[in-house]
Amino acid sequence: MPKTVVGLFENPALVNDAVREIEALGFPRQEVRTLHEPRDFDVTGVMSFPRLDFEVDVSRELTRIGATVSETNAYVEGLRRGGALAFATGSDEQLESAGRIMNSHGAVEIEDVSGPEPRMPAVAHRLRPTPDSPVLAGRVRESGGGACVFVW
């Protein structure tokens, strides 16, 4: 199952430093990505809603990798406010290191942006994934900051 760590940065300048350090771990360039909201959205006609289309595409992709609706909304709101997202896909060991790097560069806990999610009686999301487990899905928050690992 693919695993991706995602970090939201309020200061987009911090993303580039984090990405350089993550790439230095040996991540292939195609497995480390950043996303900023475009400064300008080209309107191509009367029914053109490019900003909305961008946000829907981002939401769809975040949901596809396991983000909840509230997490997705927080990430999109962070982009609206001028922030940036960083993504890294790799092995458990690589993701743990990438999450630490993102957190050390200021990845924001999304609860800080969106408010806390309601606490459910189940504690499954608090468990650490086991390598090569065929039933993992969802997210795991990296300790010490805002980076989340999504298993999809």
CATH of domain 3-151: 3.30.70
Q: What is the mean pLDDT of residues 49-72?
A: 92
pLDDT value at residue 127: 36
State the Cα angle at 131 between 24 and 84, rounded to 5°.
Answer: 45
Nearest to 152 by CA among 50, 90, 65: 65
Instruction: Please say if the pLDDT value at position 143 is more than 70.
Output: no
| pLDDT tens by residue, 46-57 | 666 878 889 999
Give the largest CA-CA distance in the chain.
51
Per-residue pLDDT of 95-123, as tens digits, reads: 999 999 999 999 998 864 444 444 444 33
Contact 102, 86 (CB under 8 A): yes
Length of the chain in terms of residues written: 152
Q: For 9-22, what is the mean pLDDT?
A: 94
Given a cut of 60, whether residue 138 has pLDDT beyond it is no
Q: How far apart are CA 125 and CA 121, in angstroms?
A: 11
